[in-house]
Amino acid sequence: MDGYKNSIVVFLDILGFKKKVENEKFEKIFNTLKYITAWNSCNGVNNFTPEKLFCYEDYLKDKGIDEEKICKDIKSDLKVSVFSDSMVIALPYTEDDFEVRFFMIVCFVSYLMGKLAMSNYFLRGGIAIGEMFNDDNIFFGKAFLEAYSLEQIAVYPRVIFSKKIEEKLKEKMPYIQKCEDGLFCVDFLNFVKKMENTRTSINMELEPIKNLVNENIVKSDKELRIRQKYEWLKRQM
Q: How far apart are CA 53 and CA 215, in angstroms?
A: 29
Task: State the sign of the Cα–Cα–Cα–Cα dihedral 50, 56, 207, 172.
Answer: positive
Write down the pLDDT at residue 51: 46
**Cα distance between residue 214 and residue 206, in whole Å:** 13
Residue 234 has a pLDDT of 95
pLDDT digits (tens, 9 = 90+) for 6-64: 999 999 999 988 888 888 888 888 888 887 777 766 554 555 555 455 556 677 777 77
Angle at 210 between CA 205 and CA 211, to 5 degrees: 105
**Planar angle of CA 180, 184, 187, nearest 5 degrees:** 95
User: Tens of pLDDT along 106-134?
Assistant: 988 998 899 899 999 999 999 999 999 87
- Among 3.40.50.360, 3.40.1190.20, 3.80.10.10, 3.30.70.1230, name the CATH number for the domain at 5-202: 3.30.70.1230
Q: What is the pLDDT of residues 177-187, one digit of tens each?
A: 999 999 999 99
Residue 208: predicted pLDDT: 94
Query: What's the number of CA atoms in the CB half-sphere (13 Å) around residue 123?
Result: 32
User: What pLDDT, in 10s, does the model give residues 181-219?
Assistant: 999 999 999 989 888 776 555 678 899 999 999 999 999
For 33-98, the DSSP string reads HHHHHTT--BTTB-SSS-SS-SS-HHHHHHTT--HHHHHHHHHHH-EEEEETTEEEEEEE--TTTH
Closest CA to 109 of 94, 124, 130: 124
Counting DSSP H helices and E strands in the chain, the numbers are 10, 8
HSE, side-chain direction, 13 A CA sphere, residue 19? 11
